[in-house]
Chains A and B, each alone.
Chain A
């Protein structure tokens, strides 16, 4: 299934480009200081850096504050139902290889109502670039416990403090079979952009978990990872394969066990690329089925169906 891009002759070339200026749409409705602004900003920069055209990208989201995202991007996109963004994105990615499909959603979408889809999209290795904007609280519905809320988190649904063990996103994603797993922080924009660039370049299912503070209902939740707030932003020291003695101690992103060990470091943990491997994508596998089925067959599609009917006579 290949598609020619539409004729672009009649539109001035600079309007076609997915630059920050061209992509910026309505002013976001997020609260002042929300981490999500930073993710949106990084997305604009990312597309500008990669030289994308506006009509080549599609932005898909679920439900929640973060999932308002597509409305703030002046390009094709879908604001889907709660928890199912990955399913919509999967259908689009598999049927339209000419598009780059991005998913922006929250921790409720990704780890609670849509948790099963995260697992299966990861193990299918669907070609998608995903960003989980994790604020560890349900913000749009005004402060209920989320699947990543820490133990003891006080919310309207757990006024005594949450007692459910929070999901560890990186650990879960590695266990699910995701082929690219990274973690970043909305307050560290350069790091965030670098992670999103690597995610976008990854041929397969890539996820960046971004700690994105909810200033309204979870203020200061991620300060312990910020030096200027008295915490520490611990970046994963990746293996450089430079033959130096210190390289032996660095993290090998293809080592699943090492990645899992890093993932279970105590809060606030590490930031960077935990895990990246290459294996055939679902898109590749389905294309191969099509290629094999059509190989050497010069009949028209109608003749192929006719032959199927002939078998039933």
Chain B
């Protein structure tokens, strides 16, 4: 919470902040998420950036839960390591989260439930009897439902937020449920907003973008961006099976695709889901399936079929903690090997991992274009962190990013070869319903086949067709954009990452550079094929570290590090890994890089 300036209004000192990190800690039924959503959306509506982070218990009901939002006027990259403001509903919320509050930060606690350490001098403490004031405001019942909205009113008052816009959101959210729900909600909010904050002595104002924003801001989580990107890219059929944290993608598409003439089917299992999606894809409709780790492993046989039959298909994996049921509501990047290698035989496929909520939209759009261009499955590796975090980002220009796709039923032939062995490896596919002018119809098959699609498992044919399927991705590799280094293109340390960790990695680079280290970072968005030139970039740095949220394994490096080491034949790459189920904190990365550099200089330490 860096202070910009202060002024005094109405007896309260007004403190301007560049940005603030606010953490709300309570239980999962307290409605913390809906308050977080409304505050996030408000920030987007008032030219501020926001990134959120939330935790849920994976149990059905109950258990501690938090919502953290970082709000500020400049482009934010991560959710922030420390909180400027901690709001604690319960004693356990206070006890478990006080450690993330920065020194001098603000602790707002429900004095009906929380008794802070009386000797606490590090923080600014404000006790508010939120539970009893909420009950009083709503009128007489002993239920404390609504204290989330009381809190939102209090935050609006303290941070001088546009109260009318928050009230409008309460109306949008609860209005359709009638006055029995809406009236208490508004009463609770207003009671919080009216709370006498003179004891605090200050109100805070978080900076907006100085020049405003060129585009209106949209505000959503990564799964919503994924579903919208799929629609924009032309997906009109999907099938899936419920699994956390993938489910909300299918819930959105189930409801929204019919508006676009499409369908999303809840299948009986993960295998049926990919089978159905592939059936629609075979029929020429752009189709997708998705899951989280355990589900992706079930789909692997058909991934190999899609490679063999050369049918385009979008396959999403919203990664969570594994192996097995693992940690369903935690982030991990441990499905990279699965995405790269799931399936049997030599089955090359495209693998892309987005790095932010905004990038989820654009990357999924790109994935859909690539799968059509190369007639092969694309595995889209999102993760729990991207799926659940809310970000504001500039609205996409749909005039540029919207495609309508219809099956190509034009007549083909004579002598049409759906698996023609071209120099690029790419051949023109066939869709049922198209007329073959010479009367010869192709079958798609999992058996090795000749250019016409007829089974042919001869050694020469298998060698030739394996090469064809591989060459397609080599063609793509030639066309991928050059990898871009964040920072100087040479120096002491290159920090490589992939997926949702881009923000904290770049913030760590910024911080270490301020401290004098010659460090840059490289983010790998295309995991298969890899962009050309990564080796040349690595050569220009003394140390190469790959930071990823997975286990360093038996040999001391994670999954991307292993890939880079094998592809580039180097043992110079080492790993910065963790599997605590949480995103990287900037300070963790900073400390790990320093320690790694030290170890390399003084290996005996």
Contacts and interface: CB of A to CB of B under 8 A. Distances in A.
**Do chains A and B stick together as partners?**
yes
A308 B228 contact: yes
Contact of B283 (A7, A70, A91, A290): A91
Contacts of B267: 87, 120
B210 interface: no
B231 A290 contact: no
Interface in A80-116: 80-81, 84, 86-96, 98-99, 116
Interface string A199-241: 0000000000000000000000000000000000000000000
Interface stretch (A71-79, A146-154, A160-168, A264-272): A71-79
Interface residues of B, number: 75
Given A3-B407, A3-B409, A289 B258 contact: yes
Nearest to B279: A91
A98 B287 contact: no
Contacts of B45: 313
A242 interface: no
5 contacts: A22-B439, A55-B436, A74-B439, A84-B275, A87-B278
Contact of B433 (A80, A91, A98, A117): A98
A94 B237 contact: yes
A55 B41 contact: no
Contact of B395 (A81, A297, A301, A309): A309
Interface string A281-292: 010001001101
A81 B302 contact: yes
Interface stretch (B188-196, B211-219, B322-330, B476-484): B211-219
A305 B272 contact: no
Nearest to B402: A302
B408 to A, nearest CB: 9
A94 B305 contact: no
Please indicate which of the listed interface residues A7, A92, A294 has the most CB atoms of chain B within 10 Å of its own CB.
A92
Interface in B424-448: 430, 432-437, 439-447
B467 to A, nearest CB: 22
B11 to A, nearest CB: 35
B409 A5 contact: yes
Cβ-closest 3 pairs across A and B = A91-B279, A87-B275, A120-B268
A308 B432 CA distance: 33
| Most chain B beta carbons < 10 A, residue from A55, A89, A119 | A55
Please classify how large the interface on chain A is, using the bins under 10, 10 to 19, 20 to 34, 35 or more. Answer: 35 or more
Given A3-B433, A313-B217, A92 B439 contact: no
Contacts of A6: 409-411, 433-435
Given A5-B433, A302-B398, A81 B280 contact: no
Interface stretch (A10-18, A37-45, A243-251): A10-18
B72 to A, nearest CB: 19
Contacts of B432: 55, 58, 76-77, 92, 96, 99
Contacts of A117: 268, 272, 275
Contact of A90 (B224, B279, B309, B407): B279
B356 to A, nearest CB: 16
Given A74-B440, A301-B404, A87 B272 contact: yes
B262 A1 contact: yes
A116 B269 contact: yes
Nearest to A60: B279
Nearest to A71: B443
Nearest to A22: B439
A76 B433 contact: yes
B281 interface: yes
A312 interface: yes
Contacts, number: 216
Given A11-B439, A297-B259, A313-B217, A88 B278 contact: yes
Interface in A173-187: none
B373 to A, nearest CB: 21
Nearest to B256: A308
Given A6-B411, A81-B446, A289 B433 contact: no
B314 to A, nearest CB: 13
B288 to A, nearest CB: 11
Given A6-B433, A304-B260, A120 B395 contact: no
Interface string B16-55: 0000000000000000000000000100110000000000
Contacts of B274: 87
B111 to A, nearest CB: 36
A188 B216 CA distance: 70
A88 B281 CA distance: 9
A54 interface: yes
Given A5-B433, A77-B443, A90 B268 contact: no
B442 A76 contact: yes
Given A117-B272, A308-B256, A79 B279 contact: no
A117 B416 CA distance: 34
Contacts of B465: none
B544 to A, nearest CB: 39
B276 interface: yes
Contact of B287 (A5, A74, A95): A95
A1 B406 CA distance: 9
Q: Point out which of B228, B263, B409 has the most chain A C-beta atoms below 10 A from its C-beta.
A: B263
A298 interface: no
Nearest to B445: A79
A71 B447 CA distance: 11
Contact of B305 (A76, A80, A95): A80
Contacts of A58: 432
A71 B284 CA distance: 21
Contacts of A119: 268
Contact of A4 (B41, B273, B409, B447): B409
